[in-house]
Chain A
C-alpha cells in the first residue's frame, strides 16, 4: 500500500500562510497527472474536497486554498488563514488501490 505521511499538527496565526505537507512512500503521479487530493474536515462534519489532482480547486472552494507538488511530495497552502479554516486536513492518493489517506494534519491557532 502507498503510505502517506503528514505532520500531526500545524500551528499558525490568523492572516498568515499555512503550508501542509504530504509525502507518499512512492510516486503517485502518472505522466503529468498527479493523483493526490486534499480534504478538510471540521469536528462533527463530513470531509469536504478542497483540491483534486494536486492543484485543481474544487467547486466552491475559496482561492486562498491552493495545492502543488508531484511525484512523492505535495503541499496544501492556505493563504491567508482565516478562523473558519481551523480543521483537520487529509491527503488521499488514487494512484493505486487501495486508495489511502494520510493520518491528517490538525491546523491550530498559535
Chain B
C-alpha cells in the first residue's frame, strides 16, 4: 500500500526558503519508472506541477518558478524534498507530493497515482 505524507513549516516570511519533506512507504524511489512529484494548489484555484524526481536521479522543474526550486531524495529513508527559495505571498498554497509513474518509455513525465493529504503553507510577514 502506497502512502505519502508531506511536512513543512506551515507559515514563513517573505524572502525566506520553504523546505518541504515527503515521507512515503509502499514503494522504492530506486525502482525503474518511479518518481515523486510536487504539485501545489492555492486555495480555491487549480493545480500547478512544480517538480519531479525520478528513480534514476533525474529531476525536472517548472521553469515558471525560474531557478527557485530544488528537488532531491533520500532513497534509503524513503523521503523526497522540495526547497523553494525567495518565497512571497504568491507561494501560499497547499503543497502535495505524489507518487509518479513514468507514462512512456524514455519519457520525462508521468501521472500521479497516489497523493499525500497535502500541507498548507502560508507566506506572510
Residue ranges of A at the interface with B (Cβ–Cβ < 8 Å) = 1, 30, 33, 35, 37, 39, 46-49, 52-53, 58-59, 90, 92-104
- Contact partner of B47 (CB less than 8 A), chosen from A30, A95, A96, A101, is A101
Neighbouring A residues of B26 by C-beta, 8 Å: none
Q: For residue B71, give the distance in angstroms from its CB to the closest CB of chain A.
A: 13
Indicate whether B64 reaches chain A with its CB closer than 8 angstroms. Answer: yes
Question: Given A98-B63, A98-B64, A99-B49, do A92 and B116 touch, yes or no (CB 8 Å)?
Answer: no
Indicate whether B11 reaches chain A with its CB closer than 8 angstroms. Answer: no
Residue ranges of B at the interface with A (Cβ–Cβ < 8 Å) = 37, 46-49, 52, 60-64, 96, 101, 103-104, 107-118
Q: Quick check: A53 and B103 within 8 Å, CB to CB? A: yes
Q: Quick check: B103 and A58 within 8 Å, CB to CB? A: no
Question: Given A35-B109, A53-B103, A104-B46, do A98 and B62 touch, yes or no (CB 8 Å)?
Answer: yes
Question: Given A30-B104, A35-B103, A46-B96, do A92 and B111 touch, yes or no (CB 8 Å)?
Answer: yes
Cα of A47 to Cα of B47 in the assembled complex, Å: 9
Question: Given A46-B118, A94-B107, do A101 and B49 touch, yes or no (CB 8 Å)?
Answer: yes
- Contact partner of B49 (CB less than 8 A), chosen from A49, A59, A100, is A100
Q: Quick check: B113 and A101 within 8 Å, CB to CB? A: no
Neighbouring A residues of B114 by C-beta, 8 Å: 49
Name which residue of chain A comes closest to B60, CB basis.
A97
Cα of A90 to Cα of B112 in the assembled complex, Å: 12
Q: Quick check: A94 and B63 within 8 Å, CB to CB? A: no
Cα of A90 to Cα of B111 in the assembled complex, Å: 12
Q: Quick check: B118 and A49 within 8 Å, CB to CB? A: no
Neighbouring A residues of B47 by C-beta, 8 Å: 39, 47, 90, 92, 101, 104
